[in-house]
Every structure is written in structure tokens, then in C-alpha cells.
């Protein structure tokens, strides 16, 4: 249903703006409808009937939602209650929207013609031309909006059902562990398609490759900072552990470039440029390092503060082992982060210079 609404909106919007703009508009509509759906669904799916009634009354008074039997919102609520007719109406409406979108697309011309007229292009110098080029590459692919938007919205949506900000932060880091490599690989692919001959670009080839790590690292580090605000409010010392997440994302981006350069004959026409085992390896590494830094360090600080009663017994029984694990695991993970970052950065410089020159 949500996909059908976003597809129809994008198809109608494509008649007035460019296809890239229509894709972005459809993606934004999908995010908005998904966010609203999950905000409504989570309280209504609660087992506490009193909370459901109170939430429904507040929602009705706030948004003036009518419970008319002809509205899809009523069908959704009835379907959540087990009504077959409500689900049937939703499926029928979704099918109608898909058919309508298909009929509208039949009359559109998707052929890309070469422009006969010449456009006057004004060249303006920039202080960071490589970063601006990557930013233009980023905006060129509408899928990147989904990668960034979902990694931010999904942890925020989880706050409606979970009260543990630390678990939500770990979930956000795990999502970023998948999307940082995908965004880095996307920027690398567009670079290879746009500039197949790197020697013609007045820049060090390895420097051009390493700039592909800046935008993914900054983007997901900012997202991690946003979703970690509740955890920092509860435990201010958490910011010491979160400060190492940008280095983790930078390492993931470097490792992605290393895998791509290790196999230059990789098919760049596919959507999934990275193999399944490569994605699983980076996801496992992300969760492992984040758990060693954040989970072990967070539990250690919580136990010292007296919040974790289960671990207080371990601390009193074997204090040497407790302090060794609480301090040693985060320290070991941080040292490995620094060493691996320097290792892969040096490998990429040598591989980039060898391939491009």
C-alpha cells in the first residue's frame, strides 16, 4: 500500500519535474507514510487495551481522523483487529493504485534525447572540489536518500516501542554497518563510470579514491550522534565511547574501497556491487567492534554506578577479571580500529597509484 502510494506520486510528479526529482519525491512520500504508519501501528498493537483506547482518542482529537467506514485508515484498524474485509479493501485499493500507475506510465516517453541547444555553464571555483563532486554524485542516485533516511528514521521509530536507548543505538550502528559500504560502493561506481580515465583528472588518483570515504563517514556519524542523544542524557560518559564511531565508519568505508580495488574486473552495472559474503563480513565486524567498545564499556560504567545488579556480584567475586574485561575489551577494539585504519589506508594509496598510473 505504501509503495503503491509512493509510486503513484512519483509517476504524477514526473510529468512536471525531472525523473530524478520524481524518484526523490516518491522516496520522501514513502518515508512519510511509513513513519506515520509505524507511529500509529505501534501503540495500537499494544496488549494493553486501555492504552489503545487512550491513544485512539488522542489521535482522533489531534489529527481529526474520522472513523468513516469508507476511509483506508478504518480499513487498516479493522485489519489489525483481524477483519478479513478490512484487509481485502486494502489489497483492492493497492491493486487499483498499481494499475493506475501502470496506465499513467504507458503514455510517457522515457527516451533520452541529446540536447541540440548548448547550455551556458558558469564555472565557479570551490575550496573542496572533490568533496563537491562526491556530493553531486550522492544526489544523483535517489537510492542514497533511502539509505540515509532509513538509518535515521528506523531507530527513531523504535523509541515508540522500546525505552532502552542503548539497544536502539546498537541497532543504528548495525544498520550503518550495511549502508556505509553500500554508499561508498555507489560513489566509487559513479566515479568509475563518469571518469574511466583517472589520469585525465588533475588530482592524485589515490586521493580521488580516498575522498569517497569522507561523505559516508560524516553522514552516518551525524546520524549516530542524533540517535545517541537519549543515551548521552542518561549517561554523559557515553559520549567517550560514541566518539569512536566515526573511526569505525571510516574503517568500513576504507575496507569497502579495498575490496573494490582488489577486484577491478568487478561488474559495475549491477545494483549489488558487493558480494553477499563481503556484506556479511562487514556487518559482523561492525557489530563485534561496536559491542566490544560500546556494550562492554557501557555495562562496565553502569556497574560501577550501581545500576547493573547482576554484574555487581561478578565485580565483588572477581574484581580483577571484571576490570580487565570492562577496560580491556574497549581498549583492544580501539587499538585495532586505529591499526586497521592505517593499514587499509596505506593499501588503498598503493593500489590506487598502481592501477591509475
The per-residue DSSP string of 184-223 comes to HHHHHHHHHHH-S-GGGSSS-HHHHHHGGGHHHHHHHHHH
Q: Is residue 124 part of a domain?
A: no
pLDDT at 115: 45
- Asked if 136 and 102 sit in the same domain, the reply is no
Q: Is residue 118 part of a domain?
A: no
CA distance 357 to 351: 10
- Asked if 44 and 176 sit in the same domain, the reply is no
- Asked if 301 and 237 sit in the same domain, the reply is yes
Mark which of 57, 90, 106 sits at the end of a domain: 106
Q: Is residue 342 part of a domain?
A: yes
State phi, psi for 110 to the nearest 5 degrees: -100, 10
Instruction: Please calculate the CA angle 180-131-156 and round it to the nearest 5 degrees.
Output: 40
- Asked if 72 and 155 sit in the same domain, the reply is no
pLDDT at 114: 47
C-alpha distances in angstroms, 161 versus 38, 60, 98? 10, 20, 32
pLDDT at 137: 79
Domain count for the chain? 2
Mean pLDDT of 284-291: 83
pLDDT at 307: 55
State phi, psi for 263 to the nearest 5 degrees: -130, 80
Instruction: Check pLDDT > 60 for residue 247.
Output: yes
- Asked if 76 and 155 sit in the same domain, the reply is no
Mark which of 71, 106, 141 sits at the end of a domain: 106
- Asked if 166 and 284 sit in the same domain, the reply is yes
The answer to whether 281 and 310 have CB atoms below 8 angstroms apart is no
Instruction: Check pLDDT > 50 for residue 47.
Output: no
Residue 31 CB contacts under 8 Å (≥ 6 apart), including other chains: 146, 149, 150, 153
Instruction: Please calculate the CA angle 42-148-158 and round it to the nearest 5 degrees.
Output: 20
pLDDT digits (tens, 9 = 90+) for 68-110: 666 666 676 666 666 777 777 778 877 887 777 777 776 665 5
- Asked if 280 and 322 sit in the same domain, the reply is yes
* Domain residue limits at 269: 131-356
Q: Which position has the grid cell 503503491?
A: 4
- Asked if 59 and 153 sit in the same domain, the reply is no
CA distance 183 to 123: 28
pLDDT at 116: 46
- Asked if 136 and 53 sit in the same domain, the reply is no
C-alpha distances in angstroms, 101 versus 19, 75, 104, 210, 272? 15, 22, 5, 42, 27
Mark which of 69, 89, 106 sits at the end of a domain: 106
- Asked if 62 and 156 sit in the same domain, the reply is no
- Asked if 79 and 23 sit in the same domain, the reply is yes
CA distance 276 to 299: 32
pLDDT digits (tens, 9 = 90+) for 256-286: 989 888 887 787 777 778 888 888 888 888 8
Amino acid at each position: 500500500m505504501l509503495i503503491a502510494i509512493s509510486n503513484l506520486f512519483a509517476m504524477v510528479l514526473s510529468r512536471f519535474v525531472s525523473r530524478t526529482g520524481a524518484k526523490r519525491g516518491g522516496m520522501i512520500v514513502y518515508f512519510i507514510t511509513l513513519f506515520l504508519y509505524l507511529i500509529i501501528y505501534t501503540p495500537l498493537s499494544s496488549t494493553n487495551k486501555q492504552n489503545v483506547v487512550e491513544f485512539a482518542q488522542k489521535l482522533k482529537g489531534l489529527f481529526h481522523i474520522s472513523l468513516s467506514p469508507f476511509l483506508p485508515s478504518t480499513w487498516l484498524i479493522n485489519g489489525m483487529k483481524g477483519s478479513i474485509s478490512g484487509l481485502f479493501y486494502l489489497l483492492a485499493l493497492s491493486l487499483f493504485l498499481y494499475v493506475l500507475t501502470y496506465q499513467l506510465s504507458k503514455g510517457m516517453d522515457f527516451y533520452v534525447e541529446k540536447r541540440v541547444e548548448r547550455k551556458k555553464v558558469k564555472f565557479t571555483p570551490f575550496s573542496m572540489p572533490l568533496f563537491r563532486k562526491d556530493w553531486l554524485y550522492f544526489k544523483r542516485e535517489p537510492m542514497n536518500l533511502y539509505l540515509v533516511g532509513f538509518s535515521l528514521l528506523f531507530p527513531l521509530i523504535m523509541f515508540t516501542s522500546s525505552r532502552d536507548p542503548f539497544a536502539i543505538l546498537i541497532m543504528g550502528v548495525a544498520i550503518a554497518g550495511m549502508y556505509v559500504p553500500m554508499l561508498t560502493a555507489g560513489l566509487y561506481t559513479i566515479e568509475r563510470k563518469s571518469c574511466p580515465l583517472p589520469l585525465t583528472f588533475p588530482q592524485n588518483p589515490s586521493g580521488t579514491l580516498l575522498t569517497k570515504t569522507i561523505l559516508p563517514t560524516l553522514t552516518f556519524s551525524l546520524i549516530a550522534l542524533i540517535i545517541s542523544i537519549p543515551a548521552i542524557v542518561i549517561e554523559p560518559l557515553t559520549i567517550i565511547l560514541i566518539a569512536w564511531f566515526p573511526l569505525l565508519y571510516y574503517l568500513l568505508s576504507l575496507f569497502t574501497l579495498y575490496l573494490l580495488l582488489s577486484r577491478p574486473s568487478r561488474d559495475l552495472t549491477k545494483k549489488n556491487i558487493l558480494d553477499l559474503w563481503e556484506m556479511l563480513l562487514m556487518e559482523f565486524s561492525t557489530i563485534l567492534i561496536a559491542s566490544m567498545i560500546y556494550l562492554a564499556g557501557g555495562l562496565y560504567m553502569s556497574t560501577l554506578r550501581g545500576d547493573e545488579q547482576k554484574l555487581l556480584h561478578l565485580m565483588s567475586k572477581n574484581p580483577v577479571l571484571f576490570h580487565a574485561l570492562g577496560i580491556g575489551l574497549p581498549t583492544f577494539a580501539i587499538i585495532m580500529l586505529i591499526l586497521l585504519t592505517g593499514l587499509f589506508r596505506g593499501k588503498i594509496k598503493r593500489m590506487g597509484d598502481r592501477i591509475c598510473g
